[in-house]
Chains A and B, each alone.
Chain A
Amino acid sequence: MITLDQVGFRYPDAVRPTLDQVSFHIAEGDLCLVIGGTGSGKSTLLGAINALVPHFTGGRLTGRVLVDGRNTAHFRPRDLAEVVGYVGQDPLRGFVTDTVTDEIAYGMEQLGLAPSAMRKRIEETLDLLGIAELRERALIELSGGQQQRVAIASVLAARPQVLVLDEPTSALDPTAAADVLAAITTIVHEVGLTVVLAEHRLERVMHAADTVAWLPGDGRVVCGPPAEVLGESNLTPPLVGLAHALGWTQVPLSVREARRRVLAEGILPTPPAPTPEPSGAPVLIAAGITVRYGELTAVSNVDLTLRAGEITTLLGRNGSGKSSLLWALQGALSHAGTVDVAGQDPAGLPAAQARRLVSLVPQTAADLLYLSSVGAECDRSDRDSDAAAGTTASLLARLGVQVEADRDPRDLSEGQRLALVLAIQLSAEPSVLLLDEPTRGLDYQAKAELARMVSELAEAGLAVLVSTHDVEFAATIGHHTVLMAEGELIAEGPTGELLASSVAYAPQLAKVFAPAVVLTVADVIAGLS
């Protein structure tokens, strides 16, 4: 279906080519998973399939890209609309119209389809993605997962043979991401479409992939069966990490596969010693925190203690009140109840002083950046925090991130941006750090980096609260875990015990080794030696 033949591509002002002598083939009806770190050229590869590269982006393309027998050099993206459907990262940014049906009709209007045919196709596509009840809704009111499914529906309505999805879940929370990935799997299995999917939540999709294309970042593309290519790659979803740790060449693609093999080979790591009772001094004591939006109580009577040097992870499904709790703790959201940080309540202080007690990095961290260069952001941050000049820049360096001062923050990778925001917030020398969903949009490497940064900060005596959906990340960094549901705290305890005993929040490795409490690859290595 898709053939790349000696394809090379270089952006107009780039030093080295993004794609270099790439050749591979994707058969009809396959789900091809495109993996690689941020900036490795995944988007370029996907763009080449629907001719956005080079027709829309500019740059120099060599070699041939054939899609359904058409050479993309001679077809503009718009001419391929009924051959290749393309869905980008943030669905809301790609919408042209305002309601679901209009958006799905838009592509067909461009193709000049008869209005009577449109109605039928719209209904079919709505059913296929399970969004029929959203038919007349306004797009802006939908949840992220619903929006992304509408975006997929709107390209499917043109009946393409290939569906290209560029990290469709990177802007979504895990629940929404699961919805979208389930819809994609349906399309592959029920409709027989060829799907090319770039995705960094490998643990959710790798079992469904027929082939994997791995971009190591040097212009090459390694393509082949998932079990082999994943084993070769430097990306480390838990099962791949397990395979590396145990020296397996074939990566198990699902928990079931891994568990069978572990049982067959009799691998039984000794679980790490249970974490001792919290010992740090209490830094933040919250009592009776309640947040109300009109009729809706988002956070209800929450008591919480954060201790110095300890990382607390806050888990719970979407809408359980995690974000509201964090904003209330920082004092930036109206609430009932008290927060005590060294005898002061941040809610009663001006913003500039509140952040010296409690600093919050919000879900969309990039909102905190609005100047035109990294250097300007650092200078401003030093002034805002009354810190010595260069404090923020050196914090950034200490976080292990090297960024030129003249770079535009908008051009940084997600991980670099997050580090910059972290450095800005830390420049106020708070004693409590709150992180809201920090792993959104991060690749495995960036996630590992973040885990290292946060652990080091905690070792330096900071009290940290991380709200996350990412159980693997929580398992890696957490000392203490709190579960939230419908605005209330429903469980609390040491991370290991709490996660391993949970059905919904157990990390993949805990499921592989149950009943032993083994959460991470590090635990496996330690337990076997």
Chain B
Amino acid sequence: MERTATLRTLHPLAWWGWAIAIGIAVNTTTNPLLLLLIAAAMLLVVLARRSNAPWARSIRAYLVLAAVVIGVRMLFQIVIGAHSGTTVLFVLPEIPLPDWAAGIRLGGAVTAEALVRSGYDALRLAVLLFAVGAANALASPRQALRSVPAALYEVSVAVVVALNVAPQLIESGQRVHRARRLRGESAMSPRGGLELGLAVVADAIDRSLSLAAGMESRGFARTSRRTGEGGWLLIGSAVVATFGGFLLLSTSDRLLAFFVLAVGLVGTLAGLRRAGARLGVTRFRPPAWGWRETLTVSAAVLSAAIVLTAGVLDNAAVFPSTDPLVWPQLPLSLLAAVALVLAPLPLTIAATTVPDARDDRRVRELRPVAEVVR
């Protein structure tokens, strides 16, 4: 079980909301001190609150990915960067490419200003990736599937089926692979690989029929009514949202664009709700959304708001100058934004304190056998 006695799991969407809000904060700053502190805070939360499920280990991969992103960015900056600034660090031999190659010139003088500037930006991207990784590590994908809107129920069932069948198919592939040796054939040859693949697909297709028979006889979709409610609302909202995206690109009226986008979002949510009514399916143990979830997301949103406001009030603190080069500063108000990232830590501690009955010597025979043995 993912739940222990003293810790509570949060709704997977709460973790995603937390990570997205942090992502917004990260997007609106290039201050390396702030970025690194936010990343450290996220790492702390991940290490303290991840389960022992396989997806929780993915955070390592994201750390590596973040490092690679920074490395590649710096490499591009050094080789084909446009170098402004006066502090020349070193000079690479210059190779101009012919005209038809867009007039690109490789190498040349590498300046500290340009490197720092692109380093800040790369760091921001890396921390953004890390926020995504944190959400992936903390939110249980299976729980997330339980909380999709009812309108997408069938599609979510297909994903559940895929998640369950995948390990079974791997096992059947391994069995066929072993069996090939008994026939004296090697599965390592390209032909062997292809035949193995086909055998697995054939097995998968056979499975789908027995699965369908099982689903059908257990009442699949029998509550569905083809009312088609909410359909036009959904399509209309998608059109509005798309138009909002277009406005965002083509006009400088940011407010209008975000307003249109918001209308699209509200319309989509309402449409999904109405479309979901065509299924009378209930859910067993759906993940619950409570005050802890609300507070977690609110804390992260507040953190983003602090960074945004700080950017308006004190631009130099949030976007430290790179030309001329100055040492970045970190005002106290931004430290509050970092502290808010840590909000899930206290929020995931179970509130009720139950006395430990192990210390109670009065009625020993009530203790569970497992406890006594230990």
Contact = CB atoms under 8 A, between A and B. Distances in A.
B163 A77 contact: no
A56 B216 contact: yes
Contacts of A351: 181-182, 184-186
A50 interface: yes
Contacts of A364: 175, 179
Interface stretch (A94-102, A204-212, A397-405): A94-102
B233 interface: no
Nearest to A105: B284
A77 B175 CA distance: 34
A267 interface: no
Contacts of B186: 351
The size bracket of the interface on B is 35 or more
Contact of A158 (B199, B219, B220, B285): B219
Given A52-B216, A385-B184, 4 more contacts: A77-B217, A110-B220, A111-B222, A115-B284
B339 interface: no
Contacts, number: 163
B212 to A, nearest CB: 8
B285 A370 contact: no
Contact of A424 (B183, B196, B219): B183
A456 interface: no
B242 interface: no
B148 interface: no
Contacts of B175: 364, 367
A405 B56 CA distance: 52
Contacts of A428: 184
Contact of B182 (A107, A114, A332): A332
Contacts of A79: 219, 222
A70 interface: no
A81 B217 contact: yes
Contacts of B210: 88-90, 93-94
B249 interface: no
Interface of B: 1, 142, 157, 160-161, 163-164, 167-168, 175-176, 178-186, 195-196, 198-199, 202, 206-207, 210-223, 280-286
Contacts of A367: 175-176, 178-179
A112 B182 contact: no
Q: Which of A76, A77, A86, A332 has the most CB of B within 10 A?
A: A77
Nearest to A94: B214
A81 B142 contact: no
B166 to A, nearest CB: 10
A393 B199 CA distance: 22
Given A97-B160, A112-B280, A330 B219 contact: no
A191 interface: no
19 contacts: A50-B217, A52-B217, A77-B217, A79-B222, A80-B217, A81-B217, A96-B164, A96-B215, A109-B282, A112-B281, A139-B164, A158-B219, A330-B182, A332-B182, A351-B186, A355-B183, A371-B195, A410-B206, A425-B183
Contact of A81 (B180, B196, B213, B218): B218
Interface in A54-109: 56, 76-82, 84-86, 88-90, 92-98, 101-102, 105-109
Contacts of A381: 183
B198 to A, nearest CB: 7
Contacts of B221: 78, 110
Nearest to B202: A410
Given A84-B217, A94-B210, A94-B213, A352 B184 contact: yes
Contacts of A477: none
Contacts of B142: 98
Nearest to A84: B217
A81 B211 contact: no
A330 B181 CA distance: 10
Contact of B184 (A77, A82, A88, A384): A384
A81 to B, nearest CB: 3
A92 B195 CA distance: 24
A355 B182 contact: yes
Interface string A349-363: 001111100011110
A93 B220 CA distance: 16
B283 to A, nearest CB: 6
B182 A97 contact: no
